Structure 1
Amino acid sequence: MQSKGFSFEGQNIYIGIDVHLKTWAVAIMIETGVIERFSQESEASILYAHLQKRYPGGNYFSVYESGFCGFSTHYCLQSFGINNIVVNAADVPTSQKEKVHKTDPVDAVKLVKSLKSRLLHSIYIPERAVILDRDLVRTRTAIVKDVSRWKTRIKHLLYRHGVKYPERFANTNTHWSRRFVKWLEEEVELLPGSSREPLLQHIASYLVSCERLLDITRKIRTLSRNETYAQNMELLRSVPGIGFHTAISFLTEMGDIHRFSNEKFIGIVPTSHSSGEKENIGEMTFRGNKHVRQQLVECAWKAISKDLALGACYGRYCQRMDENNAIIRIARKLSNRILTVLKTKRKYVNERNH
C-alpha cells in the first residue's frame, strides 16, 4: 500500500499489538477494515515512524494485552502521542476459530477488531510514581521470603548432621537471635569429616538478606511518611488486623481507591453459573490483586481476635461451614471496612475499645 499524497487528517487509526520480548505482531485498521499486518522490532519509535509515514495526520489508538512487560510499553506508546490501552487477555472476545488457530498475527487482528468495535475496556494503569513505590514494597516481600528460605536451609543442614539445640535454645523464640547465630558460627559441630563451609556460606547469605531487609524496611517507612501515603496509612492502621506493612502494600497496590464502588475490588467474590431457576455458586474468582488478597486473608485471622463484630460473625459462619470458608467471608467484610475508612477519611471505631 502506498500512502504518498494521502492524508488521514482527523481519521481514527486503530492498532492491535501482540507484544513479545523481541518482536511485535501488529495489525492496523481504519474505518473500512483491516488494511495491514506486519511484524516489527519491539520498539514504539519504529511503530510511530511507520504510522507517520503511512497514515499521516491520523488519530492513533492502540491496544495490547497485559503481560510480562507491564506498563512500560504503554508509557512508550503514550509518549509518541498514541492513545493506548492495556486489557486483560481474558476480556478479549475470541471465536472458536481463533482459539484453534492461535498465532501472533491472529491475536493482533483480534485485538484491533475489538478495539475498533469498542468492545475493550482498559485495566487500571497507575502512574509511574505509584509503580516505583509498589516495586519497592514488593521487593521487601521477596526479601522476607529469602530470609525464610535461608533459615529453612540452615535448619535442614543441622538436621542432616544430627545437630541438637542446646538447652538455652530449646525455646524456638530464641532462634535467630544474635546469640543463636553466634552459636551457629562458632560452636556447631557437624558430622566427623564434614566441612563447615556450607554452613558458614548459608549463614553469610542469611545475614546479607537480613541487612537488605533492614535497609529496605527503613526506606519503606520513609516512603509511608510522605504526603501521598501518610494520612491513608493512619486511617488503614485503625482497622483491626491491618499492620504497617499490609497498609503500605495495600495503598501501593490499589492506587486510587475512589475508582472502586464496593468491596469486590479485592476479588473476594465467588464465581457463579446461573441459568433459569438454577443458581450455582462456585469457588472464589481468580480475578483480583493476588498480593492484596493474600495479605487480607492473613489480616482477617488477626482481626477476629481484635474486633468483636468480626469475631461474632466468624463464630456464626463456623457453625455452617469450615473455618477456611468462614475466614474468606471475614476478609470480605474487612475489605469493606478498608474501603469505607479510605473514602470517608474517618478512622475505624472498634467496639472493643468502648
Structure 2
Amino acid sequence: MRTQVIKKIDFSEQNLYIGLDVHKKSWQVTVLSEAICLKTFTSPPEPNSLFHFMECNFPGASYYSAYEAGFSGYATHRQLNALGIENIVVNPADIPRRDKDSHYKTDKSDSRMIAEALRAGLLKGIYVFDPESEGFRGLFRSRLALAKDIRRTKGRIKGFLAFKSISIPGEFIRNPKSSKYLNWLKGLDFQFPTARIQLDQLINNLLFLMEQRRMLEQKLRDTARKRDRHLFKILQTVPGIGPITAIGIMAEIGEIGRFKHFKQFASYVGLVPRLHQSGEKDQTGSITYRSNNYLRPLLIESAWQAVRADPAMLKYYQENCLKGNAKKAIVKVARKLLSKIMHVMRNRVKYERGIA
C-alpha cells in the first residue's frame, strides 16, 4: 500500500505585500508577492482575521502592509504590528495614482494601488504618536471643536437679532465676550414669548459650551504641565504664543527630534511655498495646500501678535511688506516664528526678543 505524501506549502524567505482599503464594516485586501498578485478579497475589519488568513494561506512569509490615514486612526496599525505584520500608515496624497484610477475608482483598485506602491518602495509611513500623546492631541482638538461650536452659536445669536431687526450696541460689537452683553441679551423684550424662548435657548447653549471649554482648557493645562512643565513654560516666552497655542504646539508636534531639519518641520506645518521647476525656470507659488490644519492657523494668528510684541519681528514684517502684500508678509513672519519655536524646543531655552 502506497503512503500519500502531503507537501505543505511554505512561503519562507518570501516577502508579501498587503494593501488595505480600510472601511468601517469591511476591508478590501490585495496580497502581492514579488512577482504576481496572489489574492484580492474582502475581509472583516479585524487585524486578527487578516493575520489568521495570511498564516493559513501563506505561512512562513514576511508580511508588510499599509493603509491610508483616516477615521480608523492608529489602533489598527498597532494591532497589526503586534501580530507580526509590519504595517505603515500613509498619507493618501502620497499614493501614486494612474489617470484612469481617477475615472474608475473602486475599493479593489485602491487596495491594489497601495500594495503595488508598497512593493515598489514608494510609500513612506507618517509619524505615529504613542497612545498617551495621541490622547493629548485628541483632547486639544476637542477644544478647537468646542471653540468652533461657540463661534457658530454666537453667529446664530447675531442672526436671530438681525432677523428681529435688533441692532447690537457698539460696545458689545467690540467686546462680545463681556457679561454685560449676555445681560443685555437676557433683558431684551419681545412681543411674543416664543422669541424669548428661542433666544434663551441660544444663550443657554452658549453658556454651556463656554463652560465646557473652560473645563477642558484647565485639563489641557494640567496635562501639559504633567507631560513637560519646562517646555510648556518656555514656549510661552515666544511672542504671540499663549498657553493654548503652546499646548497646541506640544500636542500636534510631539517629539521635535523627529524632524531632521527646519525645512522638514516647516513642510509638516504647511509654511512652505509651492514650487514648479522645469528646465531653467523655477516658479514659486502660493503657500502649499498640504499642512497641519490645526497648527498652521494658530501660527498665522500668533505671527500677528509677534509683530506687535517683538521689534525684530516687526522689522522683518515691514521689510517683507515692501516686497509684497501684508498677507504674504505675515506668512513669512509665521515661518520665521516657527524657526524660533524649533530652536526653543530643541535647545530648551527661553526666547530672546529683539534678535533678528
- TM-score, reference length from structure 1: 0.91
Distance 2:193 2:22 in 1: 55
Q: CA offset at residue 325 of structure 1?
A: 0.6
Residue 43 (structure 2) aligned to one of 40, 45, 68: 40
Aligned equivalent of 2:126: 123
Are positions 1:78 and 2:81 aligned together? yes
Distance 2:157 2:258 in 1: 46
Q: CA offset at residue 177 of structure 1?
A: 3.6
Counting only pairs closer than 5 Å after superposition, residues 136-285 of structure 1 correspond to structure 2 as 136-164=139-167, 170-172=171-173, 175-185=176-186, 187-192=187-192, 194-226=194-226, 228-260=227-259, 261-263=261-263, 264=266, 265-285=268-288
Change (3 A) 1:192 1:100: closer
Q: CA offset at residue 179 of structure 1?
A: 4.3
Distance 2:228 2:53 in 1: 42
Q: CA offset at residue 174 of structure 1?
A: 5.9
Q: CA offset at residue 119 of structure 1?
A: 1.6
Distance 1:93 1:164 in 2: 55
Aligned residues: 346
Distance 1:107 1:130 in 2: 30
Residue deviations 1:162-213, cap 9 Å, x none? 33567xx84546644444434433x211245754110111111111111211
Counting only pairs closer than 5 Å after superposition, residues 20-35 of structure 1 correspond to structure 2 as 20-35=23-38
Q: Give the match's secondary structure for 1:246.
A: helix
Q: CA offset at residue 225 of structure 1?
A: 1.0
Q: Which runs of 5+ in 1 are unaligned?
A: none
Distance 2:332 2:257 in 1: 23
Residue deviations 1:98-153, cap 9 Å, x none? 44433221221221122122121111111111111011011111111222222222
For the aligned residue pairs, the C-alpha RMSD in angstroms reads 2.1
Change (3 A) 1:154 1:102: closer
Q: Give the match's secondary structure for 1:7.
A: coil
Residue deviations 1:275-305, cap 9 Å, x none? 1111111111112212111110000000011
1:184 alignment partner AA = L
Distance 2:262 2:203 in 1: 47
Change (3 A) 1:179 1:38: same
Q: Give the match's secondary structure for 1:121.
A: coil
Aligned equivalent of 1:302: 305
Change (3 A) 1:184 1:4: farther
Distance 1:215 1:273 in 2: 47
Distance 1:331 1:184 in 2: 38
Distance 1:165 1:43 in 2: 55
Q: Give the match's secondary structure for 1:351.
A: coil
Change (3 A) 1:99 1:195: closer
Aligned equivalent of 1:90: 93
Residue deviations 1:24-67, cap 9 Å, x none? 11111223321111112222121111011112222211011122
Are positions 1:19 and 2:18 aligned together? no
Q: Give the match's secondary structure for 1:304.
A: helix
1:196 alignment partner AA = R
Change (3 A) 1:173 1:110: closer
Q: CA offset at residue 321 of structure 1?
A: 0.6
Percentage of pairs with the same residue: 35
Point out the more displaced range, 301-310 or 54-63: 54-63
Q: Which runs of 5+ in 2 are unaligned?
A: 1-5
Change (3 A) 1:332 1:296: same
